[in-house]
């Protein structure tokens, strides 16, 4: 038996974003922030997520300017890096996840931390002016903050900090928001994850919905 449902992809997106904008409370966001938050809500399928999203002033502009200049995007997990829509990137930007680098297991053991955190040490040579996206591991976000406490550590242009989970996720995002080493975006509390993080990257990379 044939089912009746919308089959036009563009129409589905249009109706989805229209529904989000009619139901979500987006008044506190600047126009460029609203576009990013709408994409994040769409990825989560959760109107109400906007209540937990915090965007520091100028974050979207800083991230977009960095990508326009060709800056790389550093991701803590392959679920994040693989979700980035390459055709939306303005300068064929490199999307980098170092989690599978052969040196990471030994580095993590030496540092006494998770592989997700240790893998960030490999970002240092290209971290200056980059966009950082943490969508999975709170330990990665905590270690990034530890790295940035060193005045000699290269500074990224902006950070998307949306790790998910029950241990350390809330605390790591609170720490990022309090420290504000660079312009940042977070989802408060336990919510977060790869899909939400990827949605933020893709929305920042291109204004097209």
For the annotated catalytic residues, the residue numbers are: 42
Rounded distance, CA 84 to CA 163, Å?
A: 17
Tokens of 200: 């933020």
Decide: helix, strand or coil at residue 3.
coil
Angle between helices 169-179 and 138-148 (to 10 degrees): 30
Cβ atoms of 73 and 82 within 8 Å: the answer is no
Q: What is the CA radius of gyration of the chain?
A: 17
Instruction: State the DSSP code for 66.
Output: H
Contacts of 99 (CB under 8 A, 6+ apart): 76, 77, 78, 115, 116, 119
Cβ atoms of 20 and 38 within 8 Å: the answer is yes
């Amino acid at each position: 038996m044939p089912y009746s449902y919308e089959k036009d992809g563009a129409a589905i997106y249009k109706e989805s974003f229209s529904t989000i904008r009619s139901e979500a409370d987006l008044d506190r966001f600047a126009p460029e922030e609203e576009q990013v938050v709408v994409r994040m809500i769409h990825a989560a399928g959760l109107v109400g997520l906007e209540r937990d999203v915090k965007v520091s002033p100028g974050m979207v502009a800083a991230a977009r300017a960095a990508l326009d200049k060709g800056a790389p995007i550093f991701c803590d997990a392959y679920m994040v890096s693989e979700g980035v829509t390459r055709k939306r990137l303005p300068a064929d930007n490199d999307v980098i996840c170092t989690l599978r680098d052969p040196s990471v297991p030994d580095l993590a053991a030496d540092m006494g931390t998770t592989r997700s955190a240790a893998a960030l040490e490999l970002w240092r040579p290209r971290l200056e002016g980059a966009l950082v996206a943490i969508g999975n591991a709170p330990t990665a976000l905590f270690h990034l903050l530890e790295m940035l406490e060193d005045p000699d550590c290269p500074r990224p242009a902006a950070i998307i900090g949306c790790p998910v989970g029950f241990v350390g996720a809330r605390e790591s995002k609170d720490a990022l928001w309090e420290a504000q080493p660079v312009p940042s975006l977070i989802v408060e509390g336990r919510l977060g994850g790869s899909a939400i993080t990827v949605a933020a990257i893709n929305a920042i990379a291109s204004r097209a919905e």
